[in-house]
Amino acid sequence: MKLLYCAHCGDIVRLFPEKRFCLCGRSWGHYLDDGATTVQTWPGLSLGIANPDFAGAEDAFSEDVTRFSPLLAMRCWINPVSEPDVQFVLTEDADGPTGSSRSTASGD
């Protein structure tokens, strides 16, 4: 599962095939038709959550919603700019991920 973190307002948004915007509206993202690659605006972060970890944590929570368990923990990471299944689009007021003004995908 990929999430978009907006560098402007701090909102975190789960991505879907439909374009979704953050709370302030300056960042957006969506999944491409392959169901794995995302396109999102820069600056912003692409966050990944390990799907099996999330499913296990959700199961553990459902078993007892009143108790903490180590099974509630899950792996989460920031996808690097070099990640092939994340494409960044520059916003008008941003430098590129490497300090340049390059765009790795066209705006939708």
Of 45-49, 87-91, 102-106, which one has max mean pLDDT? 45-49
Structure tokens at 44: 């912003």
Q: What is the pTM of this model?
A: 0.80
pLDDT at 34 over 80: yes
pLDDT for the residue numbered 94: 63
Which of 29-38, 48-57, 86-95 is the least confident region?
86-95
pLDDT for the residue numbered 91: 80
**Beta-carbon neighbour count of residue 13 at 10 Å?**
20
How far apart are alpha carbons 51 and 101 in whole angstroms?
33
Domain map (residue ranges) of the chain: 2-90
Mean pLDDT computed over every residue of the chain: 90
Looking at 1-108, list the stretches that DSSP marks H as alpha helix, in order from N- to C-terminal side. Answer: 51-63
